[in-house]
Each structure stands twice: as C-alpha cells, then as structure tokens.
C-alpha cells in the first residue's frame, strides 16, 4: 500500500473542495472495493477523503420518484419496503450482489463506482491501460470470461461489475451529483463511459464531483421489470451475464422497453436491437427468446469469453419472462 | 467402549471460536519484523537486473533480500521422503538463483517494521527479467514423459474391447485445483544463536523440520517448528513452502525475528496446485454387464524436475473386476506453479472420471448404476491377487441407496420436471487407499490422576486433539477433562503428521500403544494380567479389587512411548476405504444453472473414532465434490502461464448457497489388518468420486454429458439442453 493522506470530512463543501483542488484524491465510502485496491497497490492515490459522515444516507419517496442516498447501505435499500414493493428489479439486483456482509458495508454510490473485476487489472502486474496507461491490455489476448462482448477497444476489454447499475439503467434512473460548479444530474446510462483510448477515465464525473443520491423516476414503479443474473456459483460472484428489463405495457402491448445488460461491457449495455424488437408487440415466450437472440447482435468475443453469448440470449429471455409474468 | 466412537466435541473448539487459539502469523514476538515476498512475472527466464534502491528507501524497510545478497545455501535432501510429500527441491531453495522456473516464483523478500510497509516496499521493487522463449505453459502442447514405472498392463485390453458386448471409450478432463485453506501460509522465524524456532502452519512437522534444516544446511536438531493450530492444509502444507525458508534467511540476516505471511494470491501461486488431468477411460463388458477389461490412462503436468505427479490411477487397480487391465500416467513438464498433493491426490480426480465412465457403461448395458457396480465388485484385489483387509462397498451402495430413496430414480434421462427445472439423480462409488505410517507418541499418567498425550502430530482442523484425547481417555479410564493433548511441536515425539488420511490411524495407534504399556505397568503393580485390568473413572479394577489410580501410582508418574511402523500388512492385503455417493440435482432448462438439491454419502472406513469429527470430514469432502463438479477451476494465462483467478473471489469454491442438505451414513466396520484400533483413514474419502455423483445426476436430469469439468452452465447449454 502506498502511503496517502487521509481526511474525514463532515460537510459536502469540504469534500468537493478536497476532490477538486487536490489531484489524485479519491473518496472513501463503504470501503469494500477501495480498501482492497489500496492494499493491492492498484489504487495509488495521494489523498483519501472519507465521506462516510456526509448526509447522503436517506431513502425517500417523493412526489416524482425515489431518492436513494448515495451512502445508504445496499442491505438497507434492498430491505426497504417501498423499494421491494415498487422497484423489484432494484431489490433483486441488490439481493444478488456480493454477500450479506459486503451488502451491510457497501454503499449505493460506491457500488456504482466500483472498479472492474478484470483479472488483468486486479493482478497488479499484467499490462493494463486502465491501471498503468501506456502498458497495453493484458486481457484482450489472455483468458478472462469476464471480458467485454460489446463496446471494447484495443486498449481495454474490461467490464463494469455492478448489478445495481444495470437495474438503474433499465429504469432510466439518474445520479444526483454535487461538485465544484454546483449540482447536476447524470442519467446512470451516461455515468460510465466506454473505454476507447482512455480506459482510465471511467465515468463522466469531474474532479471533486460526489454522487449524493440516485433518483429513480416515479413511472419506473409502474413498469413491468425484472433483474436476472447468471454466474457459476449460487452466490457471492459478480455477474457472468445479467439482464434487467423494464417494460411499459398498455393493453397488452409493449409501448416502451429498456433492456440493459451486465457483465458484457465497460458500462451497463443497452440492448437496443432487443428493445426495438419488443416495442409494439405482445410479450410471449417466443418473443422473449427472439429478443434474447437480438440482444446478442454485435457481440464480439475476446479472451475466451464466447461462452457468454448463448448465456446472454438466455438471461434476457429469462428476465423478459419474469417481467411479463410468463410461466 | 464408551468414549472412542462417540460424537465428542473438539476440545480445541472453544479456543478457536473465541479467538484465543494462536495461529502462525498471530504470535506476537518482541522486535518482530514483517516481510513480503516479491514474485516473478515470467514463466521461465533469468533475472538480470534488480533495482532495489527505491524499495530500500521506502518507509520502514530494513532489508531487501534477493539472490544477489543472500548467502548461498547448500541443498542436501535426505531420504526417504514421505510418500505424499512432493520433492521440494529447488523450489524451497529461495533467493538462490537468477533463474525463474514458473510465473509467480518468489524472487525477493522485502523486510520492514510493519506488514504494510513491507508490502509497500515490495511494490517499489523493480526487476528486469529476460524471458526464456522456450518456456512451456500448456500441458497439451508439450511431448509428455511416460515413465516406465507409471505404466502397467495385464491381459489384453485391446482384445477385450474388441470382443466386448458393451464398451465405453471416453475422455474426461479435470482442471487444476487449489487447496485454498482458510489460513494462508505464514511463518515466523526466530534464531537463538544456531537454533531456529519457526512458528508455521504445517501438516507434517518431523518432515518439515528436516526440509527446513536441509534448505538451510543446518542440523535438524537445531530446528524447532511450532504449529499448534493449523487453519486447513489439504496438502498445501505437507511440505514447507517458500515463505518458511525466506523467513529463516531474513531473520538470520537481520538478527531479529521475521514474519512472512502470504497473501491469498501467493498461496495460489507459490505453494502448489492439483494438476489438471486428461483421462481416457476404457471399459469392456460382456452381455451380463460384467467387466472384462479396464483401461485408465491420464495426462498430468508438473514442473520440470519435480518428483510428484498426480497419481490419477491410484485406485484403479482394485476398484472393479476385469482380467484385462491397462493403466498409465504421462507427465507434461510445464512452467506452471508446482503440482502437488491436494486433498485425496489421485482418487479425487481419478475416481471421479472413472465413475462417470461407469455411469456411461451402466446405461449402455441397460443396468441400474448401483446394480452394475455391485456385480463388478471383485472378490480380491484383481491386480495383485491379494485379499482385501475389509471391504464394504456393497453395503455402502445398498444402505446409501435405501436411505437416499434411489428406487425413485427414473433411468431415462430428462424424465422428471419441476417447473422449468429438470431433476435427476446420480450416484458414484468412493475409493481411497488406506495407509498407516510411522508415528510416535508419549503418554504420561500423573499422580493426581490426570494424563497428558504428547506428539508433534498436527490438528489441521481434522480433530486430532479430540480423537487422540479420546483414545487416551478410553484406554486409561479417565474422563475427558483429565486428559490434555499437546500437539504441533517438534520437541515432542514425532507423530505421523496430517496427510493421506493416515493421521488418526497412525498417531492414534502410537497413543494406543503408549497407553497399553501404561496399562501393563499398572497391571504389573496390581499383580494381574493387562487383559484382566479394568480402568474406569480413575479407578483400577483387577479381579474383585478396586484401587484408586492415585494409590497405584503412589506419587509417581507413569510414562510410556508408543511407536508404530507399517509392517507387512501393507503388502499382504489390499487396504482401502469405500463408500457411495448419491445426489439429486436440478438443472434450469432455460439458463443451464445446476443446483444440487440433496446429497448423501455412505462410508465404510473401519472403526469410527469420533462420529462428529468423522461426519465433518465427509461433509467437507462432499462440499469439495460439489465445487469440483460445478465451479472450481484454476485458469492459467495462455501466454505467460500465471494463474489468473488467484483468489477466492475468482476461484469459485462452493459457497453456502451451493451446498444443500448433506447426509452422512457411517457404516459399522472393523479392519483387523489396519491397526489395533481397527480404524481406517477417512479424511479424504468424502471427495473421492463425489463430483461424479453430481455430474451423473446432471446427466440423468438433462441427457447432457459434460466431460470437461467443471460442468458450468455454458457447457450444460452447449450440450444441447
């Protein structure tokens, strides 16, 4: 672990100020990911600003939607009666995340900003454009089933490991952000970036910007929704592939569809071919399968991850069937 | 018998669950320095420059040890080495050469005031290593060795296959596995003049002491190893690992005690792995399903020069009948982490693939898998033509099948559906060789009626403290709270160590013999034959006279040492343990996910010393079987050979959610050949084919035969689900 300056802040302005003025400073919330990265020498910040005491922990139902504080613990959100009743895809994504012990520590904002589980990023020694720019990508021609199927670049094939982010993209949620130039909101879909030539830049956040909350619009609760995750073992594993679908169904016709995929790209990946296929039609098992196949359009396997493609078709079909209450 | 055989709780349990049991890295020595290993990043090559300045200047760093500044060590290995111990060779000879033999090899040690400072210093160390382009990292891409002593043949298998009414010729592959013990390897070395004390986490202390002495070129009498508690070993702690030698070197160089604790990835990369295997199984049978031929040939891998190779076909010579038999083992030499013993070396993977092939044959022959096995149980060891010491496979199959409800299985695959889940049942037999090895123990009966058992035997979570205490309690007629067992210290009489399922039988026999001698002396004092003596609740009863032990002892201690060595019974009879696994699995027809719904094992392993710790061993073994069947696989980078999934997040051992209700039946058995306690070893029997029961059930559920372990959901789907 590289030595760093640790500061605990009690107000938002101080956090933003540290983050904006001091280069190479990171925010610490639940610590379930950052502490490991520090210990392994993968994160090498000069400063760590502990934002755990900021007033970002509340969960509230408002006139226009749900506001979930960025410092709320995953377990609290998953167990929240309104989340369970009205945003079942969010509850399911959280239930499927990590283990109960991790969920008791990890925060909503931290979950969205956790770093990739790419084996070549995490090992601390392989070439990695994300960890050590200029060294190349060790994973692309290596062996890692977690590698991306969509949106990868020559520089990076890493995937975002969050379950929650996939559900939030399917529900068209936003991240509420506080920063040097005030407050703004970013659609979760645009929070994470594709790697391109600069895979070390992972999000749209500017230095000093802190996520204060996640906002889920009220109409998300009215949509048919489901989150489905596939992995090797039954628990405590990042998604091999996952899918979250949310459907606006009127008189049996799908008026709007959002299909987000997890474990396959540097960000939650919108399966637009599947969405286009669904809109205007009535969901049945055949359409679910067809949409599953459509979700794999454009998938480009690398690093021995081709086995995920058929799984992707299945997980989308499964999520659609669950959302639509099909047998 | 009241104490031996009962479900006695671990005497060390309270210390472990309250955190007062002290494990290797937890010893708080004065002036202790902490060190971190630094590893090579190429599969084979030479270090030509090491930049140490930055690391040496890092906060708290006291020394950076590399091959350039470490004193040369002699290497004089002694023989014989224990059968389950990998030849450590150059692998233990750390920091001695600029040569790199595998990716992850320790090449430097950074010593600092704190563990964190050492790790930081380690990150600052820069190596320039020239990769040898001739390195080999893929076992399938090199020409393997085929040692003569690993090939065996009788009769004519090819003819048997030609003439067979039913035949199977299939190839199964199993991936590498990691032992992944809960406690990572750690050593604290502390020199007092020429004497070294090492607090480590090891399984076989008398051998570990010699290995350490050999590595350092000193006399074993100058080495003491303490391993009072060991948080799991599963083979990875049979021999010492690089951190022990590195700690000793650093402590000598710095003149203060040094602790080297491995990170989790270092345990994966620098201790050992179970080799991946490619196994061809051939079975020939007549129209009645009786086997006429058996072939079992395997390809495994190991580092160049290593003596150990995964003994895949170890049980094959005696499992089933058949006059025409071929076994063979080929070894690919690759630059990967050293291959070694991981729980049940040989049988864990060998019996698994074989029992899959048996399932395929039962179907071809139109026989129930249990019935098919029963008609092929041999009357004697079919390869050596010697009798079995005891053999209850048939009983295990019958009792297991009855308890499991095997009669409800539908033979036709894919015939039971529960919603979108396809449900099936499968079974497999269990086989594991039984061994007794040399062991010594000392028992002292004190004037106050307490007793002490002492041996350098280890308790690696297996229950040695409990069972050795039980044996002394039983023999000396003492309640549990009057007997103290001290283990894990090379100053004590050399026990068997823990490995190869031989610990309880071997060290237990040494305790038994010591107790027998004490009983003899009590009998002598009372003027009766040892056989006429009853010791109970601290009282000696001989004839119709009851004398309190304190009176018999008259203020003296009675001390005796027991010593057992394997005799000719090892070659006169075939000694092995047997069992049967049954599993019910459900496979999701949409996603290919496989979930084990319930599992049962019935085992015959001689007299059971402690029903509670024995059951725990079987539960653990079958849990390993579930992981082996469905999720566990070491993955190596195809270019550089490093283990890419080197931690417990990415190497997927079964978690609680993967493990259903598991039932264990312990059959009543006495083995008169094994030892005076009539026990056989059982620590590994739970994993010797368990995975095959799961994958055979997967086949019964789906009609998909996955021959490439583990049976992950993508392979199940690709099989045509």
Which of B248, B270, B292 finishes a domain?
A: B270
Closest chain A residue to B589, measured at CA: A314
Q: Where are the beta strands (DSSP E) in A88-195?
A: 174-179, 182-187
> In chain A, which among 45-104 make CB contacts under 8 A with chain B?
99
Assess whether pLDDT exceeds 80 at residue B159.
Answer: yes
Residue-level length of chain A? 327
3-state secondary structure string across B229-271: CCCCCCCCCCCCCHHHHHHHHHHHHHCCCEEEECCHHHHHHHC
Picking from B106, B269, B590, B651 by the largest number of A CB atoms within 10 A of its own CB, the best residue to mutate is B590
Residues B42 and B189 in one domain: yes
Residue B367 lies in a domain: yes
At residue A318, the 3 state secondary structure works out as helix
Residue B145 lies in a domain: no
Helix axes of B503-526 and B464-476: crossing angle, nearest 10 degrees: 20
CA distance B445 to B449: 7
Residues B110 and B249 in one domain: yes
Assess whether pLDDT exceeds 90 at residue B1.
Answer: no
- In this prediction, residue A65 carries a pLDDT of 96
Domain count along chain A? 1
Smallest CA–CA distance, residue A135 to chain B, in Å, is: 15
Angle at A271 between CA A265 and CA A273, to 5 degrees: 140
Kindly state whether A141 is in contact with chain B, defined as any CB-CB distance less than 8 angstroms.
Answer: yes
Q: What are the chain B neighbours of A120 within 8 Å (beta carbons)?
A: 644
Residue A216 lies in a domain: no
- In this prediction, residue B320 carries a pLDDT of 98
The answer to whether B591 contacts A315, with C-beta atoms less than 8 Å apart, is yes
Over residues A68-93, the pLDDT tens digits come to 999 999 999 999 999 999 999 999 99
Assess whether pLDDT exceeds 80 at residue B299.
Answer: yes
Residue B594 lies in a domain: yes
Nearest Cβ partner for B590 among A2, A236, A314: A314
pTM of the shown model: 0.97
The model's confidence at residue B81, banded by pLDDT at 50, 70 and 90, is low
Beta-bridge partners for B171: B280
CA distance B622 to B616: 10
Over residues B546-605, the pLDDT tens digits come to 999 989 999 999 999 999 998 887 789 999 999 999 999 999 999 999 999 999 999 999
Residue B193 lies in a domain: yes
Which of B550, B565, B580 finishes a domain?
A: B565
The model's confidence at residue B79, banded by pLDDT at 50, 70 and 90, is low
Nearest Cβ partner for B652 among A2, A232, A310: A232
B335, B281 Cβ separation under 8 angstroms: no
- In this prediction, residue A327 carries a pLDDT of 77
CATH of the domain at B539: 3.30.365.10
Structure tokens at A288: 């679910």
If we measure between CA atoms, which residue out of B569, B568, B577, B567 comes closest to residue B679?
A: B577
B578, B430 Cβ separation under 8 angstroms: yes
- In this prediction, residue B86 carries a pLDDT of 42
Smallest CA–CA distance, residue B203 to chain A, in Å, is: 29
Residue A38 lies in a domain: no
DSSP state string for B366-420:
T--HHHHHHHT--SS-TTT---BS---HHHHHHHHHHHHTGGG--SSTT--EETT
Helix axes of B242-254 and B205-216: crossing angle, nearest 10 degrees: 50
Assess whether pLDDT exceeds 90 at residue B482.
Answer: yes
Residue A254 lies in a domain: yes
The mean pLDDT of A237-260, rounded to a whole number, is 97
The mean pLDDT of B472-477, rounded to a whole number, is 96
Assess whether pLDDT exceeds 90 at residue B279.
Answer: yes
The mean pLDDT of B312-318, rounded to a whole number, is 98
Greater confidence (B474 vs B307) lies with: B474
Angle at A159 between CA A156 and CA A163, to 5 degrees: 165
Helix axes of B347-365 and B690-702: crossing angle, nearest 10 degrees: 30
Beta-bridge partners for A66: A61, A216
Kindly state whether A285 is in contact with chain B, defined as any CB-CB distance less than 8 angstroms.
Answer: no
CA distance B537 to B163: 66
ipTM entry: 0.96
Over residues B394-449, the pLDDT tens digits come to 999 999 999 999 999 999 999 999 999 999 999 999 999 999 999 999 999 999 99
Assess whether pLDDT exceeds 50 at residue B85.
Answer: no
Kindly state whether A201 is in contact with chain B, defined as any CB-CB distance less than 8 angstroms.
Answer: no
Residue B674 lies in a domain: yes
Kindly state whether A314 is in contact with chain B, defined as any CB-CB distance less than 8 angstroms.
Answer: yes
Residue B586 lies in a domain: yes
Helix axes of A308-323 and A285-295: crossing angle, nearest 10 degrees: 140
At residue B305, the 3 state secondary structure works out as coil
A2, A47 Cβ separation under 8 angstroms: no
CA distance B95 to B113: 21
B127, B304 Cβ separation under 8 angstroms: no
At residue A135, the 3 state secondary structure works out as coil
The answer to whether A3 contacts B655, with C-beta atoms less than 8 Å apart, is no
The answer to whether B714 contacts A314, with C-beta atoms less than 8 Å apart, is no
Residue A209 lies in a domain: no
Residues B480 and B555 in one domain: yes
CA distance A55 to A15: 12
- In this prediction, residue B365 carries a pLDDT of 98
Window from A124-133, B81-90, B114-123 with minimum mean pLDDT: B81-90
Assess whether pLDDT exceeds 70 at residue B83.
Answer: no
Backbone dihedral region of A201: left (phi > 0), alpha (psi from -120 to 50 degrees) or beta? beta
Over residues B608-618, the pLDDT tens digits come to 999 999 999 99
Residues B385 and B423 in one domain: yes
The answer to whether B120 contacts A317, with C-beta atoms less than 8 Å apart, is no
Residues B407 and B513 in one domain: no
Residue A41 lies in a domain: no
Closest chain A residue to B634, measured at CA: A143
Q: State yes or no: is B243 an active-site residue.
A: no
Residues B390 and B404 in one domain: yes
Residues B594 and B707 in one domain: yes
Residue B151 lies in a domain: no
CA distance B250 to B34: 10
Domain that holds residue A318: 225-323
Residue A159 lies in a domain: no
Residues B475 and B417 in one domain: no
Residues B92 and B217 in one domain: yes
Across chain B, what does the average pLDDT equal?
Answer: 95
Residue B8 lies in a domain: no
Residue A215 lies in a domain: no
The model's confidence at residue B682, banded by pLDDT at 50, 70 and 90, is very high
CATH of the domain at A293: 3.30.390.50
> In chain A, which among 204-233 make CB contacts under 8 A with chain B?
230, 232-233
Over residues B510-526, the pLDDT tens digits come to 999 999 999 999 999 99
CA distance A264 to B509: 57
If we measure between CA atoms, which residue out of B700, B630, B717, B619 comes closest to residue B663?
A: B619
Domain that holds residue B532: 436-565
Contacts of A172 (CB under 8 A, 6+ apart): A187, A189, A217, A220, A246, A258
Q: Strand B186-192 and strand B258-261: pairing?
A: antiparallel
> pLDDT exceeding 90 applies to what percent of chain B?
92
Across chain A, what does the average pLDDT equal?
Answer: 97
Residues B425 and B376 in one domain: yes
B721, B588 Cβ separation under 8 angstroms: no
B569, B673 Cβ separation under 8 angstroms: yes
> pLDDT exceeding 70 applies to what percent of chain B?
98
Backbone dihedral region of B60: left (phi > 0), alpha (psi from -120 to 50 degrees) or beta? left
Residues B590 and B707 in one domain: yes
Assess whether pLDDT exceeds 70 at residue A122.
Answer: yes
Residues B516 and B560 in one domain: yes
The answer to whether B658 contacts A234, with C-beta atoms less than 8 Å apart, is yes
Domain count along chain B? 3
Picking from B650, B658, B706, B720 by the largest number of A CB atoms within 10 A of its own CB, the best residue to mutate is B650
- In this prediction, residue B78 carries a pLDDT of 60
């Amino acid at each position: 672990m590289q030595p760093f300056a640790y500061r605990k802040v009690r107000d938002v302005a101080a956090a933003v100020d540290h983050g904006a003025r001091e280069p190479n400073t990171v925010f610490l919330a639940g610590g379930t990911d950052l502490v490991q990265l520090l210990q392994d020498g993968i994160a090498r910040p000069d400063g760590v600003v502990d934002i755990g005491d900021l007033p970002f922990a509340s969960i509230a139902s408002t006139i226009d939607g749900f506001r979930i504080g960025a410092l709320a613990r995953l377990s609290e959100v998953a167990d929240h009666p309104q989340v369970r009743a009205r945003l079942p895809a969010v509850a399911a994504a959280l239930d499927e995340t990590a283990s109960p012990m991790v969920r008791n520590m990890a925060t909503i904002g931290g979950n969205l900003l956790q770093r990739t589980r790419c084996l070549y990023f995490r090992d601390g020694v392989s070439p990695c454009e994300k960890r050590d720019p200029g060294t190349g990508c060790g994973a692309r021609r290596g062996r890692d089933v977690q590698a991306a199927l969509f949106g990868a670049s020559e520089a990076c094939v890493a995937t975002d490991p969050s379950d929650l982010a996939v559900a939030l993209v399917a529900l068209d949620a936003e991240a509420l952000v506080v920063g040097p130039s005030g407050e703004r909101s970013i659609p979760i879909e645009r929070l994470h970036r594709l790697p391109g030539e600069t895979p070390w830049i992972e999000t749209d956040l500017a230095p000093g910007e802190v996520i204060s909350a996640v906002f889920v619009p009220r109409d998300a609760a009215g949509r048919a929704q489901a989150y489905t995750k596939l992995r090797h073992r039954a628990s405590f594993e990042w998604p091999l592939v996952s899918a979250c679908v949310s459907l606006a169904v009127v008189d049996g016709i799908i008026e709007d569809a959002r299909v987000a995929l997890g474990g396959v790209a540097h960000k939650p990946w919108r399966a637009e071919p599947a969405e286009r296929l669904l809109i205007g039609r009535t969901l049945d098992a055949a359409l679910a399968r067809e949409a599953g196949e459509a979700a794999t359009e454009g998938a480009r396997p690398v690093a021995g991850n081709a086995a995920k493609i058929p799984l992707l078709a299945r997980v989308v079909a499964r999520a659609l069937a669950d959302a639509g209450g099909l047998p | 018998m009241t104490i031996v055989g009962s479900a006695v709780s671990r005497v060390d349990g309270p210390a472990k669950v309250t955190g007062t049991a002290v494990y290797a890295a937890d010893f708080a020595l004065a002036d202790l320095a902490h060190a971190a290993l630094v590893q090579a990043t190429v599969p084979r090559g030479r270090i030509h420059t090491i930049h140490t300045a930055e690391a040496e200047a890092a906060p708290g760093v006291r020394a950076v040890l590399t091959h350039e500044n470490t004193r040369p060590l002699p290497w004089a290995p002694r023989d014989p080495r224990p059968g389950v111990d990998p030849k450590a060779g150059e692998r233990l000879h750390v920091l001695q050469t600029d040569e790199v033999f595998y990716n992850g090899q320790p090449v430097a040690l950074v010593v600092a005031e704190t563990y964190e400072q050492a790790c930081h210093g380690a990150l600052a160390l820069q190596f320039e290593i020239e990769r040898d382009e001739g390195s080999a990292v893929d076992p399938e891409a090199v020409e393997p060795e085929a040692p003569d002593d690993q090939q065996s043949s009788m009769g004519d298998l090819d003819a048997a296959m030609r003439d067979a009414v039913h035949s199977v010729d299939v190839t199964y592959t199993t991936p590498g596995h990691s032992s992944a013990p809960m406690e990572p390897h750690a050593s604290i070395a502390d020199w007092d003049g020429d004497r070294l004390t090492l607090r480590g986490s090891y399984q076989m202390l008398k051998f570990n002491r010699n290995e350490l002495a050999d590595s350092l070129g000193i006399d074993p009498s100058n080495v003491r190893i303490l391993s009072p508690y060991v948080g799991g070993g599963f083979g990875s702690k049979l021999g010492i690992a690089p951190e022990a030698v590195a700690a000793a070197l650093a402590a000598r160089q710095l003149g203060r005690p040094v602790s080297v604790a491995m990170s989790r990835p270092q345990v994966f990369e620098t201790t050992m792995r179970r080799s991946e295997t490619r196994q061809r199984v051939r079975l020939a049978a007549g129209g009645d399903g009786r086997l006429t031929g058996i072939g079992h040939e395997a390809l495994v891998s190991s580092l160049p020069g290593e003596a150990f190779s995964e003994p895949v076909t170890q049980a094959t010579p005696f499992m089933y009948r058949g006059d025409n038999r071929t076994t063979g083992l080929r070894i690919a030499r690759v630059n990967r982490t050293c291959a070694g013993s991981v729980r049940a070396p040989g049988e864990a993977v060998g019996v698994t693939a074989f029992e899959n092939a048996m399932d395929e044959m039962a179907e071809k022959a139109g026989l129930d898998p249990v019935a098919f096995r029963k008609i092929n149980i041999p009357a004697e060891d079919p390869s050596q033509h010697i009798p079995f010491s005891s053999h209850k496979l048939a009983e295990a199959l019958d009792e297991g099948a009855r308890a499991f409800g095997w009669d409800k299985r539908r033979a036709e695959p894919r015939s039971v559906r529960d919603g979108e889940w396809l449900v099936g049942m499968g079974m497999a037999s269990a086989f594991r060789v039984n061994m007794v090895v040399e062991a010594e123990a000392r028992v002292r009966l004190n004037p106050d009626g307490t007793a002490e058992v002492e041996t350098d035997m280890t308790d690696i979570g297996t229950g040695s403290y409990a069972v050795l205490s039980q044996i002394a309690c039983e023999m000396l007629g003492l309640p549990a709270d009057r007997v103290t067992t001290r283990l894990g210290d090379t100053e004590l009489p050399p026990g068997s160590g823990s490995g190869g399922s031989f610990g309880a039988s071997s060290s237990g026999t040494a305790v038994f013999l010591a107790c027998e001698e004490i009983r003899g002396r009590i009998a002598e004092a009372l003027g009766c034959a040892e056989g006429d003596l009853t010791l109970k609740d601290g009282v000696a009863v001989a004839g119709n006279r009851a004398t309190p032990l304190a009176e018999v002892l008259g203020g003296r201690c009675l001390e005796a040492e027991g010593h057992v060595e394997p005799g000719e019974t090892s070659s006169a009879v075939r000694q092995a343990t047997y069992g049967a696994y049954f599993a019910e699995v459900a496979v999701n027809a949409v996603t290919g996910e496989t979930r084990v719904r319930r599992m049962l094992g019935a085992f015959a392993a001689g007299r059971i010393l402690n029903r509670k710790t024995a059951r725990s061993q079987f539960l653990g073994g079958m849990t390993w079987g579930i992981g082996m069947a469905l999720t566990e696989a070491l993955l190596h980078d195809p270019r550089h050979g490093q283990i890419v999934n080197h931690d417990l997040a990415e190497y997927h051992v079964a978690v609680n959610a993967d493990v259903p209700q598991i039932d264990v039946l312990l059959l009543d058995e006495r083995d008169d050949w094994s030892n005076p306690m009539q026990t056989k070893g059982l620590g590994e029997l739970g994993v010797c084919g368990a995975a095959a029961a799961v994958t055979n059930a997967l086949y019964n559920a789906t009609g998909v035969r996955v021959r490439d372990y583990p049976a992950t959901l993508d392979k199940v789907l690709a099989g045509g689900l």
